[in-house]
Amino acid sequence: MIKDNQQFFNRMHVFVDAAVTAVSYLAAWFIQFTFLAPENVGKLPFETYMVTLAFLVAGMLLLYYAFNLYTPKRVQGRRLEAGNIIKANTIALFSLILVLYMMHEDNFSRSMMMLFYGINIFLETLVRNLIRMFLMKIRKKGMNLKHILLVGYSRAAEEYIDRIRQNPQWGYLIRGVLDDNVARGTRYKDVKVIGRIDNLMVILPENRLDEIVITLGLNEYFKLEHIVALCEKSGVHTKFVPDYNNIIPTKPYTEDLLGLPVINIRHVPLSNTFNRMVKRTMDILGALAAILLFSPIMLFAVLMMKLTMPGPLIFKQERVGRHNRPFHMYKFRSMEIQKETEEKKGWTVKNDPRITGFGKFMRRTSIDELPQLFNVLRGEMSLVGPRPERPQFVEKFREEIPRYMVKHQVCPGMTGWAQINGYRGDTSIKRRIECDLYYIENWTVGFDIKILVLTLFKGFVNKNAY
């Protein structure tokens, strides 16, 4: 059982972190006074640095604890963990520099501390990823498993089982489902209904479970308070998966209304003024840099279009942007000139006869999208965000796709999380919207940078772009 060895594992993790901090510090001292500044080795005795190390190790462990780096997170992403490591090390660095300044200690090597900062972040991230890989490997082999019981057979229960089955590296083992309305023995992907909800009173005292996950259907929520009371009385960790996840966002946030918790249906980080200012600054600087970088490619495209097709070089198309406001999106023209009524008829399809020879190349490589950098400068688009759609399709999809219109709460983008995941061109609109909503609810500067970097490697060329 996980709860039997988790305490031992946490202590081992603390010991490993202390060792990594000490090794990083000693490596920084060795590099600084052996290669970078050997003439300064005698300004402070080695013992002074070792005394500082003792306090530094203790401080680092407290900071790691403060940033939840010792909380079991089987499904936590590497990016979030690495971010917390960087935050803890940054606070430690500035705290030590402040202490040295207040003590008027001028001979303590600041450059050595900068070396320690970089080395420790690298080694700590590396070691934690190695531990993560080791744990994933043994979990796939059936060891280090967390035993779970589901209470309630519902759509939420099936979706929970789907995700657990798709990710064996998480190390979850679902022992069964308790439900009052589904017959005992009913199976869903090898997970069996093993009894009624009242059986909790027999199962819980046996103390063989690590977690209870409540997955009741909406029509059974009147049982929720009783089930939670039973679980808390037994001391088993309890989670709740709502059966209305199509309404509640992936990261809901609550308000305390004089002791009454109020759940906000949609959390949009970019509704914050400061976040919008940061993103807009990134867009302006990024668009200017991209225009300079890709200007030779855009010049080449202009020359080839002039040589291979008559008519205007820039194609303007009405799209729906933030707050449902229409704007004209710019593209290099890749199709023959046609009437506006013909252009509005439908999607571009594979082997579309309207696309020119060079236009097909531009679409495949996304060169035709480069003029949208000027839409970004005008504030109509962002470098990263949900792709904007034409008005007639917005009207169609708002009725067919749940939560479709949420994407218009943020500025549309040249690239986005949906495009990085392959949902571009003639692909599933529903899956595209799911990716867009995930981006909207989980936006960070780091997430934008990740999408831009991935776009450089796999976002320009796409087999679904006709």
Between 338 and 152, the more confident residue is 152
Contact 320, 333 (CB under 8 A): no
For position 330, what pLDDT does the model report? 93
For position 235, what pLDDT does the model report? 72
pLDDT tens-digit map of 15-30: 999 999 999 999 999 9
Cβ-based burial of 312 (10 A; exposed 0-12, middle 13-18, buried ≥19): exposed
Between 422 and 436, the more confident residue is 436
* Residue tagged 């209904």 (tokens): 193
For position 104, what pLDDT does the model report? 85
Contact 371, 342 (CB under 8 A): no
| Least-confidence region, from 103-117, 153-167, 244-258, 283-297 | 244-258
Is residue 347 over pLDDT 60? no
Is residue 390 over pLDDT 80? yes
For position 441, what pLDDT does the model report? 85
Q: What CATH class is the domain 146-245?
A: alpha beta
Mean pLDDT for all residues in the chain: 84
Is residue 411 over pLDDT 90? yes
For position 62, what pLDDT does the model report? 92
Residue 401 has phi, psi (to 5 degrees) of -110, 115
Q: What is the mean pLDDT of residues 294-309?
A: 90
Distance CA 355, CA 465 (A): 12
For position 362, what pLDDT does the model report? 85
CA nearest to 312, candidates 332, 327, 294: 332
CA nearest to 413, candidates 391, 436, 438: 436
The alpha carbon of residue 332 and the mean position of all alpha carbons in its chain are separated, in whole angstroms, by 32
The alpha carbon of residue 325 and the mean position of all alpha carbons in its chain are separated, in whole angstroms, by 28
Is residue 42 over pLDDT 70? no
CA nearest to 454, candidates 412, 416, 411: 416
For position 74, what pLDDT does the model report? 62
Q: What is the mean pLDDT of residues 371-383?
A: 95
Is residue 107 over pLDDT 80? yes
pLDDT tens-digit map of 130-149: 888 887 777 777 677 788 89
Between 33 and 342, the more confident residue is 33
Q: What is the mean pLDDT of residues 394-412?
A: 86
CA nearest to 413, candidates 324, 249, 283: 283
Distance CA 419, CA 404 (A): 16
State the pairing for strand pair 187-188/260-264.
unpaired
Instruction: Outline which parts of the chain fall under CATH 3.40.50.720.
Output: 146-245
pLDDT tens-digit map of 197-251: 888 888 887 767 888 899 998 888 888 888 888 887 777 788 888 877 666 666 6
